[in-house]
Chain A
Amino acid sequence: MNLAIRDIRYHRGRFILTSIGLGLLLGVVMSMGGIYRGLFADALATLNATGADLWVVQQDTNGPFAENSRIPEDIKYRIAAVPGVAKASPLSFQTIQIDRLGKPFRFFLIGYDLHGFGGPPAIIAGRNIRQKHYEMVVAKGMKMQLGETIRLGLHDYTVVGITGKMVSSSGDPAAYVSLADAQEIQFKKDNNLIRNERARIEAKLAGIETLSPVQAKFLQQNISAITESTHTVNTVVARLEPGANLQEVQERIGRWNHFRAISDEGQKTILTKGMIEKARKQLGLFRLILLVISAVIISLIIYTSTLDKIKVIATLKLIGSQNRVIIGMILQQSLLMGVIAYGIGYALISLTYEKFPRRIVLEAFDLQVLFVIVVAICAISSFVGIRKALQVEPAEALGG
């Protein structure tokens, strides 16, 4: 006869409520694990979608995801000419926050060469960008419809396609425009500012007595053209030819002035170790604390439940029950509570994880490990109850 099941059947209300409470706690532990995995997935989403072998960035910087990197767009031709490089493509990244429908609207804008790579990984609705200007593809997370327009800088951009769950390393949904549009949005100066800069350059050149008016005008035009140029990118990504030596290509570009070539692995390390390491540790600590709290709660529940059953245990001992019957009752109850709470937590998180503002990635391995931990916690927690039960004297069954 299974005493644990019968006790639970009799006290099912209390047991279910306790399991729900514990299940909510375990649901939070699962979500913490999911958020941690989500941080990884988010951090690497753009990187993986780009599919580059090399990231060429500004010298002495860690690339476009970690800090500001600006390099001239035309370096792409030089990179493409390096032996072993199959293709080079410039990319521009920026985080934009605007007001939309009366609310702050934040997203990650990626500009890519329509003839290169690094664009949207897959189109789930509509089409890819075909025109060089004013079209955009947005991630599903932006919750925009096909045909909707959004004003960025000086122009309106129309949503022509929707891609999957693409996000920045900080979890903001991504949008794609052509490189030219992205450069204009990021680097195009305001008309007043252009006029102001031109006047300042003109005034400076006018102060140089050795320049003739013709030379000054020529210089003024050229300097203005440089300062007003938008042909800057944050990185140029490269794919290597099959069999090419990554390290050789990396070292060759690294020898150039003003540039640094980071391998895809290196970029991943920068993102995971540098940017999300603290968040990972914090989440890990939080999970640990929650598991300790769960263990304490289970121990208390099992202990108080054992105290409630002192007379039952004493009676069982008096009528000659073996210790294994009593240990089994307490251990099975503890394990059942843990398993049911785990199930409730899993059901809760499975039904809600899509609605979390940040990506939650539930990995089977994490869930299996957590299950084993929960079972171990239940077994260890039941020890306090079992210890108490074994101390009960049969004589306690006597008396009123």
Chain B
Amino acid sequence: MYAIEVENLTKIYGKGVTAVTAIADATFQIEPGELVAILGPSGSGKTTLLTAIGLINEPTHGKVVIDGAVVADGGWLPGLDLKRIRREKLGFIFQAHNLIPFLTALENVMIALEINHLTRTEAKKRATELLTALKLEHRLDNFPAALSGGEAQRVAIARALANRPKVILADEPTAALDTENGKNVMVLLKELAVENHSAILVVTHDHRMVEGFDRIFEVRDGVIVRETGKN
């Protein structure tokens, strides 16, 4: 079973003469444990593709299947609890880490677990384990403002992994980091993909950051123009 299946995914903004096709007929599958990059310049449609898979942006046409469950087929399936699917099956990593500024590093990870109905004790235990695994055990009680860019992004990764999601979607996760920290984050993502058996889909415009990725989709003007990688 694939972690992500996308079939003829199309997103059109606007109607009639003002209609703009942001992504057209994208079709691909990603297996669990696979690290995949969507590479393209600004405005190419890569974030639209990510948000459609992330259940944020409703596709105009096409099919999206997450962990074997169809979520979109010419639009969201009726009666679908998008929040629950996002909470349980998806993890998000953002360009600017998006940690909640008034929560400590530990609490930022705990909140994702508590939202998913874990008890406070369970959430604290799991969050501490995750942050320790990411070498942040000395930063548990620090607020995001006191963390370096790399540390903050690692906390964000811990939050994304908290609920052991099948799919992790990362939007320009290295954009706010220097080259060294960016590369470290990418290495970390690769390790986590293998360890957790999660599919990781990374959107980036930076070619230097996609070394070691299993597959790379290059997007131009809403169309996947090239696929490179193990297949």
Which residues of A are in contact with B by a Cβ distance under 8 Å? 1, 3, 6-7, 9-11, 311-312, 315-322, 325, 393-395, 397-400
Return chain A residues, CB-CB under 8 Å to B54: 318
The 8 A-B pairs with the shortest beta carbon distances in the complex, nearest first, are A320-B87, A10-B102, A320-B86, A7-B102, A315-B98, A320-B83, A395-B56, A321-B115
Which residues of chain B are near A6, meaning CB under 8 Å?
Answer: 102-103, 107
User: Which of B95, B102, B176 is close to A398, meaning CB atoms less than 8 Å apart?
Assistant: B95
B131 vs chain A, min Cβ distance (A): 16
A321 touches B83 (CB 8 A): yes
Main secondary structure of the interface of B (DSSP, over half): mixed
Contacts of A393 in B (CB 8 A): 56
A7 / chain B contacts, CB cutoff of 8 Å: 102
Other-chain contact of A400, B96, B112, B159 (Cβ < 8 Å)? B96
Looking at the complex, which one of A3, A312, A318 makes contact with B86 (CB distance below 8 Å)?
A: A318
Q: Mark B64-80, 1 if CB is under 8 A from A, else 0.
A: 00000000000000000
Considering only residues 106-138 of chain B, those with a C-beta below 8 Å from chain A are 107, 110-112, 114-116, 120
In the complex, what's the smallest C-beta–C-beta distance from A399 to chain B, in angstroms? 6
Q: Is the CB of A398 within 8 A of B159?
A: no
In the bound complex, CA of A319 to CA of B87 (Å)? 6
- Assuming the contacts A6-B103, A312-B101, asked whether A318 and B92 have C-beta atoms less than 8 A apart, the reply is yes
Please name 18 pairs of A and B residues whose Cβ atoms are closer than 8 Å in the assembled complex, sorted by A: A1-B120, A3-B100, A6-B103, A311-B98, A312-B100, A315-B94, A316-B115, A318-B56, A319-B111, A320-B86, A321-B87, A321-B115, A394-B56, A397-B98, A398-B47, A400-B96, A400-B175, A400-B176
In chain B, positions 162-178 with a C-beta closer than 8 Å to chain A are 171-172, 175-176
The answer for the CA separation of A395 and B175 in the assembled complex, in Å, is 18
Option from A311, A322, A394 in Cβ contact (under 8 Å) with B115: A322
Q: B88 on the interface (CB 8 Å rule)?
A: yes
CB nearest neighbor in B for A5: B102
The residue in chain A whose Cβ has the minimal distance to the Cβ of B112 is A319
A318-B86, A319-B112 known; A11-B98 Cβ under 8 A = no
Residue of B nearest to A395 (CB): B56
CA gap between A318 and B165 in the complex, in Å: 14
Are A1 and B111 in contact (CB-based, < 8 A)? yes
The docked-state distance in angstroms from the alpha carbon of A317 to that of B115 is: 10
Min CB distance B126 to A, Å, is 14
* Contact status A320-B56, CB under 8 Å: no
Contacts of B112 in A (CB 8 A): 319
Closest chain B residue, CB of each to CB of A320: B87
Whether A319 contacts B159 in the complex (CB less than 8 A), given A1-B107, A398-B94, comes out as: yes
Return chain B residues, CB-CB under 8 Å to A312.
100-101
Q: Which chain A positions have C-beta within 8 A of B120?
A: 1
Residue interface bits B35-64, CB-to-A below 8 A is 1, else 0: 000000000000100010010110000000
Count of chain B residues with a beta carbon within 8 Å of a chain A beta carbon: 35
State whether B102 touches A9 (Cβ < 8 A): yes
Besides A315-B94, A395-B51, A398-B56, 9 more A-B contacts (Cβ < 8 Å) are A1-B107, A1-B110, A318-B56, A319-B86, A319-B112, A320-B86, A320-B116, A321-B111, A400-B95
List B contacts of A398 (CB < 8 A): 47, 51, 56, 94-95, 171
Residue contact B143 to A10, C-beta cutoff 8 Å: yes
Q: Are A319 and B92 in contact (CB under 8 A)?
A: yes
- Chain A residues with Cβ under 8 A from B88's Cβ? 320
Q: How far is A373 from B84 in the complex, measured between Cα atoms in Å?
A: 37
Please give me the residue from chain B that is nearest to A10 by CB atom.
B102
The CA of A394 and the CA of B98, in the complex, are separated in Å by 12
> In chain A, what residue has the closest Cβ to B102?
A10
Distance in angstroms between the alpha carbons of A398 and B176 in the assembled complex: 13
Within 8 Å by CB of B57, from A315, A325, A395, A400, lies: A395
- Measured CA separation A399–B95 after assembly (Å): 6
Cross-chain contact of A315 among B85, B90, B95, B100 (Cβ < 8 A): B100
Which single residue of chain A is at the shortest CB-CB distance from B48? Answer: A395
- Taken together as a complex, chains A and B put the C-alpha atoms of A6 and B116 apart, in Å, by 19
Residues of B near A311 (CB, < 8 A) are: 98
Which of B85, B101, B143 has the most CB atoms of chain A within a 10 A radius of its CB? B101
Chain B residue nearest in CB terms to A397: B98
In the complex, what residue of chain B is closest to A399 when comparing beta carbons? B95
Bound CA span A315–B85, Å: 15
Q: Taking the nearest CB of chain A, how far is it from the CB of B153, in angstroms?
A: 13
Question: What A residues does B96 contact at CB under 8 A?
Answer: 400
What mask results when residues 7 to 48 of chain B are scored 1 for a CB within 8 Å of chain A, else 0? 000000000000000000000000000000000000000010
Closest residue on chain A to residue B57 by CB atoms: A395
List of B residues within 8 angstroms of A395 by Cβ: 51, 56-57
Hey, which chain A residues are within 8 Å of B110, CB to CB? 1
B134 to chain A, nearest CB (A): 18
- Chain A residues with CB below 8 A from B111, complex form: 1, 3, 316, 319, 321
Chain B CB count within 10 A is highest, among A7, A320, A322, for A320
Residues of chain B lying within 8 A (CB to CB) of residue A397: 92, 94, 98
Which of A311, A318, A322, A393 is the most central at the interface, judged by chain B CB atoms within 10 Å of its CB?
A: A318
